Structure 1
Amino acid sequence: MKKTKALILSLLLLVCFGGAQAKDYNASLFGIKSNGTTMNTTAIQKAIDYIHEQGGGRLVFYVGRYLTGSIELKSNVTIHLNEGAVLLGSTNPYDYRQIPGTWLGLILANKAENIGVTGRGVIDGQGRETSYNYIDQIQKGVIKDELKYDRPASRPTLIFLRECKNVEINNVTWKNSAFWVQIYDQCENLNIDRITVDSKAFWNNDGIDIVDCNGVKLTNSFFDATDDAICLKSHDPKSICQNIEVSNCVARSSASGIKFGTASRGGFRNIKMTNIKVYDTYRSAIAIQAVDGGLVENITIDSLHSYNTANVIFLRIGERYEGEKAKLNNVTISNVYAEVPAGKPDAGYEYEGPVEDLPRNISPASITGLPGQYVTNVTLKNITIVYPGGGNPNYAKVGTDAKSLNAIPEMPKAYPEFSQFKELPAWGFYIRHAKGITFDNVTLTAEKPDYRPAIVLDDVHGGDLENVTINDPDKKKNEIVVFQSTDIKK
C-alpha cells in the first residue's frame, strides 16, 4: 500500500512538473514588441526570469520582428519562435554582453538545464552591420580591441551555451551572425535537429562549433557559412569532445565542410558521422586535426558525398604547443564519392576563401603525422575520388627522389590546412609518418595527365594498398611510390 501511494505521489509530481515545463507564455504578455524597432532586451529577460521562477515553460514569439540585445536563458525555459517570428539582433555593439564562461552573444546560458530554442522562426544577427559598427568604434578609439585583417576580435555569436545540460535546438533558421554562429561549450545531452544555418554576413561565420561536449546528436540540418560549416573543437586540455553523432546534414563553406579542430587541446573521441553532403567548399570536405596535444581516436565517417570541394580528406598531427604530443588513432572513412575541381570551388560567393600558398598544383588528399608521431590505424573503404589532373611540372614541381621528398617541410607549428605544404609529389594521396593504413576498394581518377604519381608513401609502416584502382591518362608504370617505408602491400 505504501509503495502504491509513493508511486501515485511520484506520478502526480511528474505531471505537475511536466505541466509547468510545457506551459506557454505569449511574448506580448511581457510588453515585448514585434515592430522591429523597439529594443526588447529588458522585457525578454524579464519574461525568461519570470518563467524560470514559475518552474519553467516556453516563451512563445508569434509573427513579427523582435529587436534585442543579449539575453540569458535560465533552466527549464525554452524560446519558441513560430513561423514568421524573427528574433533580431541589435546592430549596436553596446547592446551585447558576456555572462561568466561565455563570449559576447545574443542568446547566452551558463550551467542551465532543460533549455531550448525551437520553432520555425528565424534568428537574424544582422552581423555585417554589427561588425561594421564594432570596427567604427575601434577606429575611433572607444572600444579597445585588436583589429586584425579589419576583423574585430570581440563580435557577438548568435548563441553561446556553456556547461548546459539537456538542450533542445530544432527547426530554427540561424542567419547573419557577426562571428561564429553557434557555440556549445562543455554541454551534455545536446540535441540539434532540422536547423538551417545561412550565415555569410561577415568573416569567421562558423556554422556550428561543438566544443568539449559529451553526448551530442546533430541531424537533418543544412549549413551555408563563410567559415567551417560543422566544427568540433576542444579548448580545454582537461576536457574532450566525445560521443558525438552527426547524420543527414548538408554543408557548404568558404573554409572546410566538416572539421575537427583547429583547437584540439583535449581532443575528440567516439565520433560518428553518416550521410554527409559537402559542396562548393573552399578547403576540405573532412579535416581531422590533432595539432594541440590532444587525443583523437575512434572516428567513423560513413557515406560522404563531396562535390566541387578543393580537398576531400585531410588527417594531420601537429605540435603547436611545445612538448605536447598529439595522438590520431583509429579512423575509418567509408563509402565516399568526391569530385575535386580544377578551379576555385567557392568563386562567386560573397566572402571567398583567400588565394593562398601559391604556387602549387591541385593538392592530393593527405594523411600526415610527424617524425616519431604517427597517425595510426586508418581504414579507407569504398572510396572514389575524381581529380582534374593536369599537374604541371613547369609551374611547380616536387619529384619523388629522396632529396625532393626529404625537402618537404614538416611544419609542426603551422596552422593546419591541406594546402600548407604547397606543392606535394602525388595527385591522389600523400601519406607521411603513418602506421597501419588500409585502402579497401579505393578508386582514384585523374581526368587529365598529371606529372605526379597517384600515391606517395613516406615513412609509412604497415600498409595494405592491394585493392586500389588508379585511372590515369598517362598510365604510368609506378603509380604508387614507396619511400622509407616497410611492410607495404600494393
Structure 2
Amino acid sequence: MSLKNYLILALLTITCLPSQAKDYRTSLFGIHSDGITLNTRSIQYAIDFISQNGGGRLVFNVGRYLTGSIHLKSNVTLHFEEGAVLLGSLNPWDYDKKVWTAIVFAHDQQNIGITGQGVIDGRGRYIARNIVDMIHKGLIKDLFRQDRPEAETRPVLAYIRNCENVNIKGVTMQNSSSWVQIYDQCKNVAIDSITVDSKAYWNNDGIDIVDCDGVTVTNSFIDSDDDGICLKSHDASKVCKNILVRNCTIRSSANGIKFGTASYGGFSNVKIYNVKIFDTYRSAVTLQAVDGGFVENVIVDSLKAYNTGNAIFLRIGERMKGRKGRMENVSISNMYVEVPATKPDAGYEYEGPIEDMPRNISPSDIVGMPDAIITNVTLKNIEIKMPGGGNPMFAKIGLDELDKVPEKPTFYPEFSMFDELPAWGLYIRHAKDIKVSNLTLSCEKKDYRTAIVTDDLHGATFEGIKVTQPGNSKNYIYTHKSTGIVTKK
C-alpha cells in the first residue's frame, strides 16, 4: 500500500472515532486535581472502565493530576483540557517497566489517543535525581554509565508498542527524564500540532519512531536536548516505513532529523517536507545505515536550518562485524542552511558535548565504505553558508594525502567522527550515481580547504555549482580515485 493510501486510511480511522466516543470526566472516578493525591489506581480504573464499556475519552479538567505508570486500553483517549497537567510521580517505585519505564504505556491496543491543549510533565530532573539516589543505595541495579541512569530506567512520557490507530494531537509534552515519546512497531500513527519542550535531563529525544508503518508528524514544535525527530529500527526483521514529517520546527542539542543510529532492519519511503531547524548542535539531517540495515526511498524537500552545526550527513557503517548497511535513492532539495563558527546550542541547559576537538568546521558528508557504497543520491537547489576560516594547524589533510582520512566503520556515527576533513563545503567518499545541481556554497572567511572533494566516487554530475569564498573560487572541486565525474555550468 502506498504512503498516500496509508495516510488516508489512518486519517479516516482516527477522525471517525471521536464522534462516536463518550466523554467521562475524571471526577466521576474520584481522580483528584490537587497535585498531591497519587491518582495512579483511579486513573487506571477509569481507563479500564471506559474500554470495557464501548470506549470514549477520559477528560481532565483544569488542575494538576499526580500519577505513576498508567496503561492505555483500546478505544480510550486521554483528553487534557487547557490548564490540565498530568504530573509524573517523583517516586521511582510508582513506575512500571516493560522494556522502558514510562508514565503512559500502551501495548497491543487499538484506537487510542492523547489529545487536547493540556500538558504531560515528567518532572525529569527530579525523578532522575531520585533514581540516582536509589542506584547509590543499591536498590536499583543499573549500569550507571557517565554518572547517569540508563535511558530505559528513567521514565519516558509515553511508550506505545504494537498499537494500531494512534492519535496524538495538541498536547504539550515536557520535562521527560529520558526519551519523550516512543512509538514502537505501531501502525497508523498521527501526531499533529503537539509541543515538545524537554530539556530537563539527558537523552531527551523529542519523538522516536521505531519500526513503525504509517506515521505522520505534522505542524509540531520540538525543543529537545537530544535528537528532535528520530527514526530507529531495533528489529532486524522489521522496517520503519511510510513516514511523513511535514510543517515542523525543531531545536536540538543533537540532530534535527535523524534516523539510523539503530538500523538493524531498515527505513523505506520516508518523506520530510517544510521543516525549520534552529540552534541545533549537530546535523540538520542525518541518515545512517550502520547496523546492517538499509535506507531507501527518502525525500527531504524545503528544509531551512539556522545556526546549525552541519547541514547533511549520510553514512554507511559496520558497527556489527559482517553486517554492512545499504543506502540508496535519497533526494534532498530546496534546502537552506547557515552553519556558524561557534557552538550552535551554547547557553542551553544541556548542551551537546565538546568532542572531536580541535577540528575545523566540518562539511556536509556523503560517506559509505569501500565495500558498501552509497548510491543514487540527488542534491538539488541547496544553499549552504559556512563560516570558513579553516586552520591548517588542526591535523591538516592535504589533497595529496586523502587516504589519511580514517574509515572508522565501527564508530558511533556523527558528522564530526572523522576529525579533520579536506573539504569545507561537501565531502563525498565511497559513492556512485550522485547528482548535484544548483548547489550554492559560500564561506565568510578564507579557508585553505577546497569547497568540494570526492574520493572513490563513480558516476556523478555537478551542474550549476556556485562557490563564493575569499580568494580563488574557480577550482571548487577536487576528485581523487573517482571516475565518470561530469561538471556543467
TM-score by length of 2: 0.95
RMSD: 1.3
- Give the match for residue 6 of structure 2: none
Residues 361 and 396 in structure 1, CA contact (< 8 A), matched pair in contact too:
no
Q: How far is 1:181 from its partner? A: 0.1
1:434 is aligned, of 431, 434, 437, to: 431
* Cα distance in 2, alignment partners of residues 164 and 18 from structure 1: 16
- Give the match for residue 292 of structure 2: 293
* Cα distance in 1, alignment partners of residues 469 and 175 from structure 2: 44
Residues 292 and 320 in structure 1, CA contact (< 8 A), matched pair in contact too:
yes
* Cα distance in 2, alignment partners of residues 81 and 219 from structure 1: 20
Residues 21 and 58 in structure 1, CA contact (< 8 A), matched pair in contact too:
no
Mean CA deviation greater in 238-247 or 464-473: 464-473
* Cα distance in 2, alignment partners of residues 18 and 183 from structure 1: 23
Mapping of 1:64-463 within 5 angstroms?
Answer: 64-99=63-98, 102-153=99-150, 154-401=153-400, 404-463=401-460
Q: 1:312 to 1:19 in 2, by over 3 A?
A: closer
Q: How far is 1:336 from its partner? A: 0.5
Aligned residues: 471
Provide the secondary structure at the position in 2 that maps to 1:379: strand
- Give the match for residue 24 of structure 2: 25
Q: Which ranges of structure 2 fall in alignment gaps of 5 or more residues?
A: 1-12
User: Runs of 4 or more off by more than 3 Å in structure 1?
Assistant: 17-21
Superposed CA offset, 1:280-317 (max 9, x none) = 00000000000011111000000010000000000000
- Give the match for residue 3 of structure 1: none
Q: 1:19 to 1:115 in 2, by over 3 A?
A: closer
Determine whether 1:475 maps to 2:472: yes
Residues 228 and 251 in structure 2, CA contact (< 8 A), matched pair in contact too:
yes
Residues 20 and 57 in structure 1, CA contact (< 8 A), matched pair in contact too:
no
Counterpart AA for 1:473: P
Aligned-residue sequence identity (percent) comes to: 62
Provide the secondary structure at the position in 2 that maps to 1:398: coil
Q: How far is 1:146 from its partner? A: 1.1
- Give the match for residue 54 of structure 2: 55
TM-score by length of 1: 0.95
Counterpart AA for 1:80: H
* Cα distance in 2, alignment partners of residues 217 and 227 from structure 1: 20
Counterpart AA for 1:408: V
Q: How far is 1:266 from its partner? A: 0.5
Counterpart AA for 2:185: Q
Q: How far is 1:140 from its partner? A: 1.2
* Cα distance in 2, alignment partners of residues 478 and 134 from structure 1: 57
- Give the match for residue 10 of structure 1: none
**Structure of larger gyration radius:** 1
* Cα distance in 1, alignment partners of residues 19 and 194 from structure 2: 26
* Cα distance in 2, alignment partners of residues 27 and 431 from structure 1: 57
* Cα distance in 2, alignment partners of residues 261 and 487 from structure 1: 30
* Cα distance in 2, alignment partners of residues 166 and 98 from structure 1: 23
Q: 1:216 to 1:395 in 2, by over 3 A?
A: same
* Cα distance in 2, alignment partners of residues 113 and 278 from structure 1: 33
Q: How far is 1:261 from its partner? A: 2.2
Superposed CA offset, 1:231-263 (max 9, x none) = 000000000100000000000000000001210
Q: 1:380 to 1:93 in 2, by over 3 A?
A: same
Counterpart AA for 1:324: R
* Cα distance in 1, alignment partners of residues 107 and 200 from structure 2: 27
* Cα distance in 2, alignment partners of residues 46 and 375 from structure 1: 52
